[in-house]
Amino acid sequence: MKVLVIDDDMISRMALVDVINGCGNYRIVEVASGDEAWQQISGPGVPPMLVCCDIRMPGMSGIELLKKVRATPATQDMPFVLISMANDADTIKEAIQFGVSGYIVKPFSQKDARDRLSKALALSGSKVMEKPAETMARLRFEPDRYRAYLTTMQRQVTQLIGDIATLPNNDALPPIRERMAVLQTGCAPLGLWRAAALLQKFSAEGSASADMLDGLDELQQQLHHQLFAID
């Protein structure tokens, strides 16, 4: 599951990436500017489930990026955490007005940053997929039956990823789109909401094979997470 880290200082990015890695298994993308970040957020590929952005950067600042995210219907609900210096109190007040999801003050301790990011990631995750216990209760599944559905879908996704990787040309994409659409219909009942939306998007005409692979990789991560989380 994709987390976007934005900071023009490489050392600061490294420190934050280390914190996120301590919170769980996430696919972290690093960029050095607000403009690069906006391409990741609004581009054709998989959008991040959480954005962690420094406030003070050359060009587009963190506040300006936050405003842009909140002003765009497709991204307005995206969880967004700002990284600020201790003397940015007035800026943080402005960020709260624009719906910032949280903030971390630099220089930060690993424990404080991990606690804050864990909460943000948990909140974001609740919008990405349903908790396994809730899915099983809703579907009236025993753990073994629920696990069987997840592992079956996992095998199908693995096969589909392999088939896309060996496509001879774009003329072979229509059957792939059909298989992705079938997978998409199974995601929503299993509580994989973000994956369902991504597969619906990438099974549409015009989607590039690279974006399809990105969406399927996201689904693989969600399936792995749910299988690991079954009591």
- As a whole number, the mean pLDDT across the chain is 86
Domain carrying residue 58: 2-128
pLDDT over 90 at 136, yes or no: yes
Output the CA–CA distances (angstroms, integers) from residue 102 to 27, 75, 98, 202, 212, in the order listed. 20, 17, 11, 31, 31
Q: How many structural domains are present in the chain? A: 2
Give tens-digit pLDDT for 154-175.
999 999 999 888 876 666 677 8
Residues 53 and 150 in one domain: no
Over residues 22-40, the pLDDT tens digits come to 888 888 999 999 999 999 9
Per DSSP (E only), the strands in the chain are 2-6, 27-31, 50-54, 80-85, 102-106
Specify the DSSP class assigned to residue 210: H
Domain match, 110 and 141 both: no
What pLDDT is recorded for position 133?
A: 92
Among the three residues 128, 156, 174, which one is the final residue of a domain in this structure?
128
What are the beta bridge partners of residue 85?
Answer: 106
